[in-house]
């Protein structure tokens, strides 16, 4: 007996929603991590390399 196409479509839709929610959470975490240090707290470094100068303070 083959699965009901409507059930398959509903399952796929739910899985897509779960995947999108996970991606949103990851993006929010990534954004908050990137904006974590305000410019006044950062050590002067190479503007072209965001990590340069932060190793000293441990904010890699």
Give residue 33's pLDDT.
Answer: 78
Domain that holds residue 7: 1-60
Domain count, the chain: 1
Give every CB contact of residue 51 below 8 A, 6+ residues apart in sequence. 45, 60
Give residue 18's pLDDT.
Answer: 97
pLDDT tens per residue across span 9-50: 999 999 999 999 999 999 988 888 777 655 555 555 555 655
Give the separation between CA 45 and CA 31, rounded to whole angstroms.
21
Give residue 12's pLDDT.
Answer: 97
Instruction: Show the CA angle centred on residue 51, arms to residues 47 and 56, nearest 5°.
Output: 115
Question: Looking at residue 2, what DSSP letter applies?
Answer: P
Give residue 58's pLDDT.
Answer: 55
Give residue 32's pLDDT.
Answer: 81
pTM above 0.75, yes or no: no
Q: How far is CA 58 from the centre of its chain?
A: 21
């Amino acid at each position: 007996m083959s699965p009901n196409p409507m059930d398959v479509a509903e399952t796929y839709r739910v899985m897509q929603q779960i995947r999108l929610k996970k991606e949103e959470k990851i993006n929010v975490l990534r954004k908050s991590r990137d904006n974590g240090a305000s410019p006044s707290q950062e050590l002067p470094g190479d503007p072209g390399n965001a990590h340069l100068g932060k190793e000293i303070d441990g904010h890699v």
